[in-house]
Structures are given as C-alpha cells and as structure tokens.
C-alpha cells in the first residue's frame, strides 16, 4: 500500500514536470500569456487533475463531478495543459491558445471548451461563482466538492472579501479555496503593491478553516485537501506557498515574468532545465 502511494506521488511529480514543459512550449507558441504563476502552480494542477478531482474527462457535464473554479483566469495555460493531459481535448490543440477560432481563449470562457466550469480573467469573482455552486450542491444535497483556485494578488479586489465573508457566514463546508501564495503581482511584490498579510488571520477572522502548505509538495497538497474535507462546519482555505516561475531558475521569484512568455531562446533554456530537473538528471 505504502509502495503504491509512493508511486502515485512520484507519478504526480512527474506529471507536474510534464505540465511545466508543455506550458513553456504552449506559451512560446502563443506568443503572449503568463509564465510565472502558471509554472508556480503546476504541482497544484497536477494534484487536482490526476488525483484530487472526482471527474470524468469523457463526460465533462457529469452532474456529480467535483467542480474546479479557476478564479485567476490568467492561470489558464496551466489549466488547459492539465486538462489536455487528463484527456479533455487533444494535446495538439494547445497550439491554438490565444489564436483566432480557438476554444482556448486567452482567458477561459464558459461555453467555449467542455470542462471549463466558469468564465474568468477579470479578477476576484471566482470565489463568488464557487460559492454559487456550493450553495446549489447544498440545496440539492449533492456530495461533490467545489474547489476554487485563487491568486494572492486578486485578494486586492473587494469582491474577494465579500465572498470570503459570505462563505464564512454560511458555513460552506463543501468549498475549498486553494490560494496560490506566490507573493507577486504585475507591479511588484504583493507586500509592496498592497500588503495582503496576515492572510491566515484574515481568513480565520471570517470563520474559515485555514491550512498552510508548501505548494510544491504534492503530498502536502493531497493531505491538506483530505483534511479540508474532514471539516464540515467551515469552508477551508489552503494557503499554498509557491515560487513563481518554479523550475526555471531565471524566472523564479522574478515578478517581471508575471505576464510575459519566454522567447524561443529562453524557452530552450527553460526546457533544458525542466528536462534535467535543474541539471540533476541527464536529458533524454
């Protein structure tokens, strides 16, 4: 059993690495898009799509599925890559991202691509939409889980705190917010642009259950979600500390990589680093 679990974790870690590589290729092909946070959250999306979510890529409208609401829509390249590997659509379609007539819009559009649960991009409204789904599930006595991925920067938005207040008051135990705490936003480090801390205490004050984890530790992500599921009387926020640009040394923790893609030379370098795990193994 333990061996199987270890294998699972190893598989997910490798999946996260595959997702990062495909992200680099996808962003270069698109010619625009967000590099830092997508690389930084690859472990979270690998864990979600290949272990945590109860979903069926062949039946994206299955009524009992868990919902993944992406609030920070600019993360969509990592969402699309994870969905493609999971089998929602062919990997080749990733080449159409941000191009004309594509189902892969620059920011996700509900209705364009089966499996996309909500429109996002304009920040701060995903949690509200997730709340709507959590309320509906509660009214219909459904057992599915509603996950929301939010960015730290979008917590500048007042709408986020309206939603946090509402979910706390209504004790939405079926709602899990995974907050990607990567400390950057477009204009700089979050604590310089608009200090967000202390996030733990803020969420606790609004009647949420709070967990803090290393967002690159797949095992920690899975454990945190399992713990959140055991908390019935409150919504849970998992504050996942991540390194933006994770896996590519010249992108890591550099806020200037927030909203730009690598050029082809940078991409070659990035892919070499990812394929060799930063030089630890030989490239295939």
Partner 1 sequence: MINQKAKLSPEIFKKDIKQAPTRDGFGEGLVIAGEFDSNVVVLCADITDSTRASLFRDKFPDRFIEVGVAEQNMAGIAAGLALSGKVPFISSYAMFSPGRNWEQIRNFVAYSKTNVNIVGAHAGISVGPDGATHQATEDIAIMRVLPNMRVFVPCDALETKKATVAAAKIWGPDYIRFAREKTPVFTTEETPFIPGKAEIFWESSKPQCAIIACGPFVYNALLAARELAEEGIHTLVVNNHTIKPMDEKTIIDVAKKCRAVVSVEEHQVAGGLGGAVAEILAGHCPTPMEFIGMRDTFGESGSPVQLIEKYGMGIKAIKGAVRKIIRKR
Write down the least CB distance from residue 31 to partner 1, Å: 24
Provide DSSP, 161-219: HHHHHHHHHTT-TTEEEEEEE--EETTEEHHHHS----HHHHHHHTT-EEEEEETT-HH
**Shortest Å distance, C-beta 257 to partner 1:** 26
Q: Cβ–Cβ contacts within 10 Å for residue 100, how many?
A: 5
**Residue 227 DSSP SS3:** helix
Nearer to partner 1 among residue 11 and residue 161 (C-beta): 161
Q: Toward partner 1, which CB reaches closer, 24 or 137? A: 137
Residue placing its CB nearer to partner 1 in the complex, 27 or 72 = 72
Binding site for partner 1 (CB under 8 A): 67, 69, 109-111, 117-119, 121-122, 125-137, 139-140, 158-159, 162-163, 165-166
Nearer to partner 1, 16 or 175 (CB): 175
How many other C-beta atoms are found inside a 10 Å radius of the C-beta of residue 203?
A: 23
Query: What's the CA gap between 111 and 131, in Å, rounded?
Result: 20
Cβ neighbours of 221 (radius 10 Å): 24
Residue 227 CB, shortest distance to partner 1, in Å, is 24
Q: How far is the CB of 107 from partner 1 (least distance, A)?
A: 9
């Amino acid at each position: 059993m333990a061996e199987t679990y270890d294998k699972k974790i190893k598989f997910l870690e490798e999946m996260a690495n595959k997702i990062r590589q495909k992200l680099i290729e996808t962003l270069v092909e698109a010619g625009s898009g967000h590099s830092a946070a997508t690389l930084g959250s690859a472990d979270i999306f690998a864990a979600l799509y290949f272990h945590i979510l109860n979903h069926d890529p062949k039946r994206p409208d299955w009524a009992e599925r868990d919902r993944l609401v992406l609030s920070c829509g600019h993360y969509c390249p990592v969402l699309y890559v994870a969905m493609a590997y999971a089998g929602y659509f062919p990997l080749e379609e990733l080449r159409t991202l941000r191009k004309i007539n594509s189902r892969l819009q620059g920011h996700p559009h509900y209705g364009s691509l089966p499996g996309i649960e909500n429109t996002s991009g304009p920040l701060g409204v995903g949690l509200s939409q997730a709340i709507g789904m959590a309320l509906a599930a509660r009214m219909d006595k459904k057992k599915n889980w509603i996950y929301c991925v939010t960015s730290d920067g979008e917590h500048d938005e007042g709408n986020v705190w309206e939603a946090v207040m509402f979910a706390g008051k209504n004790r939405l135990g079926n709602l899990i917010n995974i907050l990607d705490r990567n400390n950057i936003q477009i204009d700089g480090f979050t604590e310089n642009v608009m200090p967000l801390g202390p996030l733990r205490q803020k969420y606790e004050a609004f009647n949420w259950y709070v967990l803090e984890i290393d967002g690159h530790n797949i095992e920690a992500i899975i454990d945190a979600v399992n713990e959140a599921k055991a908390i019935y009387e409150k919504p849970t926020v998992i504050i996942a500390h991540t390194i933006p640009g994770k896996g590519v040394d010249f992108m890591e923790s550099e806020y200037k990589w927030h909203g730009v893609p690598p050029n082809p030379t940078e991409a070659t370098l990035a892919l070499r680093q990812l394929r060799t795990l930063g030089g630890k193994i030989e490239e295939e």
